[in-house]
Amino acid sequence: MKHLNYLILFCIVLISCSKTSTFVADNNNNQLPQYSESGRNIAGALFNDTTWRSNVYISVLSGTYISGFWIISSLSGDSTTIIFNGKLSYNSISFVDSLPSIPLNFFVVIKGLKIENQDSLFKLNNKTFNLDGNNNYVTLTYSYDNFRFLKNKESLGNIVFKKVQKNSSFTIGDGSPNNPIINPFIVSGLFNFTINGTSNYDIKDGRFDMVAQWKTNLIIIQ
């Protein structure tokens, strides 16, 4: 996807922010979030058996919402990119929020999928996308000691959107011509990836329960 390098730079910069997500521990692994479908704004997985968790922030300087989850669709292109920004945690839940934690971000590219507007998110409901490393694939960025490496090797696996729903209990906008009243969406599901190359990466037991909102973390490129 031609916009991918721009998206990587745009989506992983998190400066002067405070976290806004709800963590409820999974019964089988208390460092992973429990699977849910209520818009807790959290994701988690095991990355080579190390705990990975997403980041969702509000900027304390500008009030801008900076998400650990993005859906970016190119109407002039041929794909939609699902982005998960997060960090590795080696020994505890609190470690993921500490300075030594390591940023690690996943970019899932799905060819042939176009999201034209917010209601088009219903296309994802109860939908599974299999990754073949060619048409559909996952890329990761891994940042440590100020070095960032882009890994785009043979990738297999799948991402499952188990439930996509409108959040009917919350609205934004005032109904004016340039500020329509809309409901944010809740996008929940599972993922498992393998990336094979010089190094092998196994991402398993992935789960996400995220809010998606047009012009916030749902971006449509004309």
- Highest averaged pLDDT of the listed ranges 7-11, 72-76, 186-190, 198-202: 186-190
Cα–Cα distance measured from residue 213 to residue 172, given in angstroms and rounded to the nearest whole number: 9
pLDDT at 89 (0 to 100): 75
State the maximum Cα–Cα separation within the chain, in Å, rounded to a whole number: 54
Q: Is residue 27's pLDDT more than 90?
A: yes
**Are 154 and 197 spatial neighbours (Cβ–Cβ below 8 Å)?**
yes
Sequence-distant (≥ 6) Cβ neighbours of residue 176 within 8 angstroms = none
Query: What are 160-177's pLDDT values in tens digits?
Result: 999 999 988 877 777 788
Query: What are 105-154's pLDDT values in tens digits?
Result: 999 999 999 999 999 999 999 999 999 988 899 988 876 555 455 555 57
Cα–Cα distance measured from residue 19 to residue 27, given in angstroms and rounded to the nearest whole number: 23
Look at the block and give the residue holding tokens 């047009």.
214
Query: What are 174-194's pLDDT values in tens digits?
Result: 778 888 788 899 999 999 999
Query: What are 41-87's pLDDT values in tens digits?
Result: 999 999 988 899 997 765 444 444 556 899 999 888 789 999 999 98
Cα–Cα distance measured from residue 196 to residue 174, given in angstroms and rounded to the nearest whole number: 49
Reported pTM: 0.83
133-140 — which CB contacts under 8 Å span 24+ positions? 135/111, 136/108, 136/109, 136/110, 136/111, 137/108, 137/109, 138/106, 138/107, 138/108, 138/109, 138/193, 138/195, 138/203, 139/4, 139/106, 139/107, 139/109, 140/104, 140/105, 140/106, 140/107, 140/195, 140/201
pLDDT at 140 (0 to 100): 86
Task: Judge residue 112's burial from the number of C-beta atoms within 10 Å of its C-beta, 0-12 exposed, 13-18 middle, 19 or more buried.
Answer: exposed
